[in-house]
Amino acid sequence: MKEAVDSPGKESQTPARPADLEPLRLRQLKEQIVAWGHDLGFQQLGVADTQLDLHERHLDRWLERQFHGEMAYMQRHGKRRSHPELLIPGTLRVISARMDYLHGSAEPASDLMRQPVKALISRYALGRDYHKLLRRRLQQLADRIESETGPFGYRVFVDSAPVLEKALAEKAGLGWIGKHSNLLNQNAGSWFFLGEIYTDLPLPTDTPAENHCGTCTRCIDFCPTGAIVGPYQVDARRCISYLTIELRGSIPTDLRELMGNRIFGCDDCQVVCPWNRFAQHSAENDFRPRDGLDAAELVTLFGWSEAEFLQRTEGSAIRRIGYECWLRNIAVALGNAPRSDAVIKALHARQEHPSELVREHVEWALSRHA
């Protein structure tokens, strides 16, 4: 998933500790924060301290092995990702929150996997971009806290660099990092986003959730590209989410066939996870699929002009990849689709596209149907 530019959000101008910090008051405040968070649409909230030594070692090893590929931002910030107090001096605790995104009206991803003429877009990206929504709600939560405590030091983050969101959520008791490396929860599966408030309030911390993966290896076995190279270790360079969203250049040819009809992100490791039987649907209107994107035909999407692409993806996370990569991804999926006149016609129509990147993927797709 794309890591946005670090957004400062609103920081209180004169970070000062509230005068009244007795343990009992802090416990009450934490209960209030959880209740306010629920009112704001978060399904679960918890509090973690900032000690991430073990995760830091895993992160370092992941970077050493170049698993981040071209995501240079993953190594840009030195130790600040694994040391919240270096990123925002004075940080003592992290309030971690999760929000479900699977909308009840969306066609299940598992059905789309069996329909290669249709586009499979990650379920998280079907509605409006989640970054703004979550950040706004976290800001409202911080404002609510401030109205109770007076000015305090804080910073709001959603998928914004450089924060180890899953590790912090695990510590805050929101779930455990599964073998597919997503955070999952015994009662809620893994179809949710994460966001945080870094704060200098010494709130009581939660107990980390236990790992319930056991001997299961379904996500590893079903990953189409073998990107989960070992339990808890994803080589992003092989992950379809990276290939379709993060990578700007040519998609390695040996991985194209394995991508099937996935044109934006990939949900397979979550679809096969048994704990997602317990996932709840989101009631957020913003997460409702737009423009029939949950089950659109590949040829229809490939036919969009750039103006149409920009108009239809306004306010959506999909827009971030740009029109060129959009066409690149769909060309690969059309190469994997069953041969038909409509598919061949759609590909021919893009053979002279001004972008070399698009033309190359179109040629590859046509060669598959030759």
Q: Which residues are catalytic?
A: 159
Which of ligand B12, ligand SF4, none does residue 179 bind (CB under 5 to 8 Å by kind)?
Answer: ligand SF4
Stretch touching ligand B12 by CB under 6 A, among 27-35, 55-63, 306-314, 332-340: 55-63
- Provide the 3-class DSSP secondary structure of residue 98: strand
User: Which residue among 122, 149, 225, 329 contacts ligand B12 (CB under 6 A)?
Assistant: 122
Closest CA to 306 of 364, 359, 354, 251: 354
Q: Does 70 bind ligand B12 (CB under 6 A)?
A: no
Q: Smallest distance from the beta carbon of 213 to ligand SF4, in angstroms?
A: 3
Stretch touching ligand SF4 by CB under 6 A, among 45-53, 98-106, 136-144, 237-245: 237-245
Question: What distances in angstroms separate CA 302 from CA 115, 229, 290, 355, one per listed residue?
Answer: 16, 32, 17, 14
Radius of gyration (C-alpha) of the chain in whole angstroms: 22
Q: Does 267 bind ligand B12 (CB under 6 A)?
A: yes
Which of ligand B12, ligand SF4, none does residue 233 bind (CB under 5 to 8 Å by kind)?
Answer: ligand B12
Q: Smallest distance from the beta carbon of 366 to ligand B12, in angstroms?
A: 27
Q: Does 246 bind ligand B12 (CB under 6 A)?
A: yes
Closest CA to 288 of 32, 101, 117, 46: 101
Q: Does 325 bind ligand B12 (CB under 6 A)?
A: no
| DSSP codes joined into one string, 30-81 | HHHHHHHHHHTT-SEEEEE-S--HHHHHHHHHHHHTTTTTT-THHHHTGGGT
Tokens of residue 239, six digits: 């992950």
- Provide the 3-class DSSP secondary structure of residue 325: helix
User: Which residue among 1, 113, 216, 342 contacts ligand SF4 (CB under 6 A)?
Assistant: 216
Q: Does 152 bind ligand B12 (CB under 6 A)?
A: no
Binding track over 320-359 against ligand SF4, x by CB under 6 A: ----------------------------------------
Rounded Cα–Cα distance for residues 268 and 275 (Å) = 13
Buried residues in 337-351 as b, exposed as e (16+ CB within 10 A): beeeeebeebbeebe
Which of ligand B12, ligand SF4, none does residue 58 bind (CB under 5 to 8 Å by kind)?
Answer: ligand B12
CA geometry: angle 300, 304, 310, nearest 5 deg: 135
Distance linking the first and last C-alpha atoms of the chain: 34
Which of ligand SF4, ligand B12, none does residue 120 bind (CB under 5 to 8 Å by kind)?
Answer: none
Cβ neighbours around 305 below 10 Å, total? 9
Closest CA to 243 of 121, 161, 325, 331: 325
Stretch touching ligand SF4 by CB under 6 A, among 37-45, 153-161, 232-240, 320-328: 232-240
Which of 29, 269 has the CB closer to ligand B12? Answer: 269
Q: Does 113 bind ligand SF4 (CB under 6 A)?
A: no
Q: Does 44 bind ligand B12 (CB under 6 A)?
A: no
Q: Smallest distance from the beta carbon of 232 to ligand B12, in angstroms?
A: 4
Rounded Cα–Cα distance for residues 142 and 197 (Å) = 8
Tokens of residue 30, six digits: 């934490």
Q: Does 236 bind ligand B12 (CB under 6 A)?
A: yes
Stretch touching ligand SF4 by CB under 6 A, among 72-80, 235-243, 296-304, 326-334: 235-243
Q: Does 279 bind ligand SF4 (CB under 6 A)?
A: no
Applying CB under 6 A, which residues contact ligand SF4? 178-180, 184, 213, 216-219, 223-225, 227-228, 234, 239-241, 266, 268-269, 272-275
